[in-house]
Amino acid sequence: MSYDPANIFARILRGEIPAYVIEDTDHTLTFMDIMPKADGHALVIPKEGARNIFEISDEALQHVITQVKRVARAAQRAYPGKGIRVIQLNGSEAGQSVFHLHFHVIPSADGMNFGFHGGAAADEKSLKENAQRLKQALATLA
């Protein structure tokens, strides 16, 4: 599948759909998530058209992650006492629903109850096997 320029975030970038924009930079747009998981839930997207972390150029990704840090710092200031979650999904299997790369920045106070952590520690064999699997894949990367 290739990047679909009709996706909702591309339309926001082109100004075809309104958004609650927080900051517009040369390489990124930051705006409120319309269905927030918590007050202050913002999204940071690159202006480069890329569906996910695999497709974006390293240069554009650097701009995005720098902006994510900036927005996370602002959220920390704007929502004192909250922790700041940064979440990014790749592929529908991972729960991604809009196929223009985006990072969620979410002020959060529900601790371990947000359902991300596994329920129990894996056994040693499984941890070792999975570590090996990732190490082998890392070794094949440029």
List 27, 63, 102, 117, catalytic entry: 102
Q: For residues 4-33, which are near ligand AMP according to CB under 6 A?
A: 8, 17, 19, 33
104 burial class (0-12, 13-18, 19+ CB within 10 angstroms)?
Answer: middle
Nearer to ligand AMP, 23 or 33 (CB): 33
Assess whether 27 carries a catalytic annotation: no
Task: Report the SS3 class of residue 42.
Answer: strand
Nearest to 65 by CA among 44, 81, 35: 44
The reply on whether position 97 binds ligand AMP by CB under 6 A is yes
Question: CB of 69 within 8 A of CB of 138?
Answer: no
Q: For residues 101-130, which are near ligand AMP according to CB under 6 A?
A: none
Nearer to ligand AMP, 39 or 129 (CB): 39
The span from the CA of 69 to the CA of 78, in Å, is 14
Indicate which residues carry an active-site annotation.
102
Binding region for ligand AMP (CB under 6 A)? 8, 17, 19, 33-35, 43, 89, 95-98
